[in-house]
Amino acid sequence: MKTPALLLLFALASVAPTAAQTPVAAPTPASVAQATTRLSGTVLDGAGHPLPGANVFLKTTFDGATTDSLGRFAFSTTATGTLPLVCTLIGYALQETPLALTGGVLALPPCRLRESRASLGTVTIVAGAFEASDEKRSATLKPLDILTTAGAMANISTALNTLPGTTRVGEEGKLFVRGGAASETRYYLDGLPVQSFYGGSTAGMPARGRFSPSLFKGTLFSTGGYSAEYGQALSAVVGLNSLDLDPETQTGISLLSVGGSLSRTKRWARTSASVNVDYTNLAPYFGLTAPAQRWEQAPQTLGGAFRLVHRTGQTGMLKLYATYSHQQVASRQADPEAAYALGGRLTSLQNTNYYFNTTYRTAWRRGWSLNAGLALGRERNAVQPEPQRIGTLEQTATARLVLTNDSASTWYNLKLGTENTVQRYDLTYQATPDAPVATPGFLEKRTAVFAESDLSLAPRLTGRVGLRGEYSALLHKANLAPRAALAWQLGAGEQLSAAAGLFYQNPTNDLLYVQPALGFERAAHYILTYQHMAAGRILRVDTYRKDYRGLVCFDRYNTLNASAYANSGSGYAQGVDVLWRDQYRTFKKIDYWVSYGLLDTRRQFRADLAPAVPTFAATHTVSLVGKYWVQQLHLQVSATYAYGSPRAYYDPNQPGYNQGRTPSSQQFDLGLSYLTHLAGQYTIVHLSMSNVLGRDNLYGYRYATTPDAATGRYAAVPVRSLMPQLVVAALFISVNKKTPGDTSVAPE
Amino acid sequence: MKKHLFTLALAAASFGAAAQTTPATPVKAAVAPTPAGYADLLGATIAQVLHTGDAAELKGLAAKLERAATVAPADWLPRYYQAYALLINVFQSKEDGDAKDKTLDQAEAALAQARQLGGDESELLTLQAYVYQARLGIAPVLRSLKYSRLVNETVAQAKKLNPANPRAYLVGANNVYYTPSMFGGGADVAKPLYEEAKAKFAAFRPATALAPSWGEGQTLGRLKQYEVATAQTDR
């Protein structure tokens, strides 16, 4: 297909008689004897550089001219008297000066235009934040980048792992950002915190996000310095914005080698509703590939979701999303404890999750808009690592109300909000099936308020200041977190920005049920970012420093000793992140990005014996993501290569702490999408293969709790992924689409 | 591999600014007195816009129309033709995509002003659809899905408001013409649509001398191409 633009251009050229140009009918007012005035001059910017393209004219007349490349203009007028001379150019303040038209030649002094202050919303402060959006030009990614990244397997966190500032922790699959633990990253759906973003997982089984990336029109991934809107996250925030009305009525059928799903979407004028059910079962797959692990029950998931969107009035939008999933898995794995040396240790897991999210937004009066939401979450997780039985039930309700005024002033806006959370966490624990049941638990009620303002400070300077306050009834403590960010527009598409702030988070559930009398954990972020975006290319360099205080520590050898729990830990992380993206520029059909992260971090927290490099940090991380579109074949090939330098682990047989180093981890993933029609219906055939080269990545060792009586050494087993390689074939069919999908364009 | 529908995602990604073209209630333009000679000058400028294909000249004419808007601040036509001149500039210019997008931003701003002044909604929507087509043309690989649909939707609204507006039919026909045949588009499918547009043009009488009247030449030019193509295959 030739580009429509080109064709349209030919079409136009063939129709428009380009040569024949009607000369301007010279103004010929009948009456007055003509006193023609010839005006000339230049238009300059504040620094005295000429400004081409400015429109200079006499108000209330047609007489005027556009400045040339040297900022010069000249025109004649037959108007007389005194008229305002107007000088305008986009990005500059309009200038109006009265001018007496005397006839004859008038050489005007240079007209100097002042840059107008950046209008709010035109500059996005990029410090720390990556955005995936179709609508914003500042976005680094498109929403579909998440889907089409090889190896991501339609998993949001895995796709975000290809951005700098993250460490891939292959055995967990979660997001670890800038030296932070996985629990330090919080997910928000339409502004509401998600209780449990990841599905359940056991050791060595990488967790998957519960939400399909296709639900979202935009994703904000902030690796630090985020807005006061977000709380309860020490390291990072992922903000997911769901789609508004579904575009059309259709039925979707997905057949996967590991399961399938069915969906039905109905669109009315102001309303859309959709339901889907999906089922995944890896048993046949593992039956075929016969991995070394013995699955007593291969991973199996049954889920469903319902979504309703309704537009009210001109600006109102009501969204409702409810989802359910049930998951089970059981595996027998090698274990360092002597009792399981022969047959391995059986761990089974059952996870049932309900999540409900509803939001309403509307424009209100006097420039205020309202955003209200309610999220409910309920998760039951039962893990049974032989012979223990651990059951948890977590229930959360969060209500949120945000008022925004975008027209408070031309130079600032205002955002005020409150968030209230009630969280109930109950645990049942049995050391053996016959042992008595321990039932610790806690109830948390947390209130947060925040205020934030975007400020246009100077022509090229935009700022954001915010303050967030939280009170936790469980901890009996309050915190106040100031945040600030500044962006300096260096040139078109070039920005230097900085962000700093304090970030607080409750200790994690597994700590709170043992000892609720703890304080908040705290991180301070300092970030400096340079970004240059031009013509399909992005270069971005971030430097950061993060200081942790009040991290919770406990006794490694007696984890249930509540009195040993204290906010006594601390640490730091600092580093440099670099992202380079090139879309179809260097290579005509290839879109690729390279990210590199350098990380220096040490901390002492949880069971750490001494300050050390945490096990989830790699000094060097490299990701290379490429997408190649073969137009003739309607085929997209995508590939991802990831490298992580050696990570630390604690070897109790050696002196020191976290002194062991794994080999580097490397992974190469491939994806293939073929766009076609099947029985007249738009169809995508997808083939995805992770770890194509079959590299046996080693993520560390697990050691027995007590040394072997005979040798005095602690027995060890290596930690590896239970799914070192995964091949998935899929067929996605959309039935009854009104607008037929175009298979001749890349599924971007 | 989990609950993800690739196809839904494709459609979803293209869904964004879908419902932004909610028509504002047209405010009847206050009949403000316009300076003598305004209509002639505007008419001459419009004639220039309609007869040039030169990108630089179109930019200059857009600036002139901006000036015209200060002469008669209540008239929507200068803003409408300003948007039109900027739009045609994008089709003709050799600038890069970002620069073109910025020009289209300006065109949309001018369209919004024309709408505030109570301009003919059907004509404004048609021009908006044309702007979407220009956006598509800047990066067809990335934008086809989204903008092709936006063009269709906007053209449909324009036709609904005024079934006799021939320009809506022309823009709609163009969209089909440039859609590959395997998706229900192509020259053959578009031909009856151009013929329909031609009939609409034949029946159309602009409300005033300066009201939008462009497009007939383009329609006839296209139909002429079909004749030539047929003649060649016959021979």
CATH code of the domain containing B44: 1.20.58
The count of C-alpha atoms lying within 13 angstroms of the C-alpha of A371, restricted to the half-sphere facing its C-beta, is 13
Q: State residue A7's pLDDT score.
A: 41
> Quick one: pLDDT band at residue B230, thresholds 50, 70, 90?
confident
- Mark yes or no for CB contact A64/B67 under 8 Å: yes
Q: Is residue B114 part of a domain?
A: yes
- Mark yes or no for CB contact A27/B41 under 8 Å: yes
Contact (Cβ atoms closer than 8 angstroms) between residue A72 and residue A44: no
For residue range A277-313, list pLDDT tens digits in order. 999 998 888 877 765 557 888 899 999 999 999 999 8
Higher per-residue pLDDT: A175 or A407: A175
User: Chain A contacts of B182, Cβ < 8 Å?
Assistant: 677, 743-744
| Alpha carbon distance B87, B98 (integer Å) | 14
Strands in A147-293 per DSSP E: 166-168, 175-177, 185-189, 192-193, 216-222, 236-242, 250-256, 259-267, 271-281
List, as one string, the DSSP characters of A648-680: EE--TTSSSSS-EEPPPEEEEEEEEEEEEEETT
| Alpha carbon distance A405, A384 (integer Å) | 51
Interface-testing mutation among A86, A96, A134, with chain B (most B C-beta atoms within 10 A)? A134
* Length of chain B (residues): 235
User: Chain A contacts of B217, Cβ < 8 Å?
Assistant: 15-16
Instruction: Say which of B4, B44, B97 has its CB closest to residue A212.
Output: B4
Number of domains in chain B: 1
For residue range B17-70, list pLDDT tens digits in order. 333 333 334 444 444 566 778 888 899 999 999 998 899 899 999 999 999 998
Q: Is residue B101 part of a domain?
A: yes
> Quick one: pLDDT band at residue B182, thresholds 50, 70, 90?
low
CA of A501: how far to CAs of A465, A525, A586, in Å? Answer: 10, 6, 38
- Mark yes or no for CB contact A740/B37 under 8 Å: no
Instruction: Say which of B12, B71, B144 has its CB closest to residue A742.
Output: B144
Residue range of the domain that includes B49: 38-119
Please check the confidence at residue A146 and state whether its pLDDT lies above 60.
yes
Q: Is residue B188 part of a domain?
A: no
CA distance B219 to chain A (A): 9
- Mark yes or no for CB contact B137/A4 under 8 Å: yes
Q: Is residue B167 part of a domain?
A: no
DSSP A649: E
Nearest CA in chain B to A748: B142
> Quick one: pLDDT band at residue A676, thresholds 50, 70, 90?
confident
Q: Is residue B13 part of a domain?
A: no
Instruction: Say which of B22, B146, B217 has its CB closest to residue A314.
Output: B22
Q: Is residue B96 part of a domain?
A: yes
Residue A140 DSSP SS3:
coil
- Mark yes or no for CB contact B15/A305 under 8 Å: no
Percent of chain A with pLDDT strictly greater than 70 = 91
Percent of chain A with pLDDT strictly greater than 90 = 61
CA distance B116 to chain A (A): 16
> Quick one: pLDDT band at residue A507, thresholds 50, 70, 90?
very high
Please check the confidence at residue A745 and state whether its pLDDT lies above 60.
no
User: Chain B contacts of A728, Cβ < 8 Å?
Assistant: 1
Nearest CA in chain B to A213: B4
- Mark yes or no for CB contact A258/B16 under 8 Å: no
Sign of dihedral through CA atoms B50, B53, B57, B59?
A: positive
Q: Which of B47, B29, B50 is nearest to B39 (CA)?
A: B47
User: Chain B contacts of A584, Cβ < 8 Å?
Assistant: 141
Sign of dihedral through CA atoms B41, B42, B44, B45?
A: positive
Interface-testing mutation among B2, B146, B174, B224, with chain A (most A C-beta atoms within 10 A)? B2
- Mark yes or no for CB contact A3/B134 under 8 Å: no
Please check the confidence at residue B158 and state whether its pLDDT lies above 50.
yes
CA distance A363 to chain B (A): 14
Nearest CA in chain B to A275: B3
- Mark yes or no for CB contact A25/B145 under 8 Å: no
- Mark yes or no for CB contact B41/A62 under 8 Å: yes
Q: Could you give all domains of chain A from N- to C-terminal order, each with its CATH number? A: 35-116 (2.60.40.1120), 129-735 (2.40.170.20)
Q: Is residue B82 part of a domain?
A: yes
CA distance B192 to chain A (A): 18
Q: Is residue B216 part of a domain?
A: no
For residue range B68-102, list pLDDT tens digits in order. 998 888 999 999 999 999 999 999 998 888 889 88
User: Chain A contacts of B225, Cβ < 8 Å?
Assistant: 14
User: Chain B contacts of A282, Cβ < 8 Å?
Assistant: none
CA distance B68 to chain A (A): 5
CA distance A72 to chain B (A): 14
Instruction: Say which of A213, A247, A743 has its CB closest to residue B15.
Output: A247
Beta-bridge partner residues of A106: A39
CA distance A183 to chain B (A): 23
Nearest CA in chain A to B36: A29
Contact (Cβ atoms closer than 8 angstroms) between residue A271 and residue A309: yes
User: Chain A contacts of B133, Cβ < 8 Å?
Assistant: 4, 8
Please check the confidence at residue A66 and state whether its pLDDT lies above 60.
yes
Instruction: Say which of B2, B174, B218 has its CB closest to residue A154.
Output: B2
Q: State residue B13's pLDDT score.
A: 32
- Mark yes or no for CB contact B4/A254 under 8 Å: yes
Q: Which of B141, B104, B110 is nearest to B17 (CA)?
A: B104
A201: which 2 tokens?
Answer: 């997982």
From A449-463, A556-570, B120-134, the region with the lowest mean pLDDT: A449-463
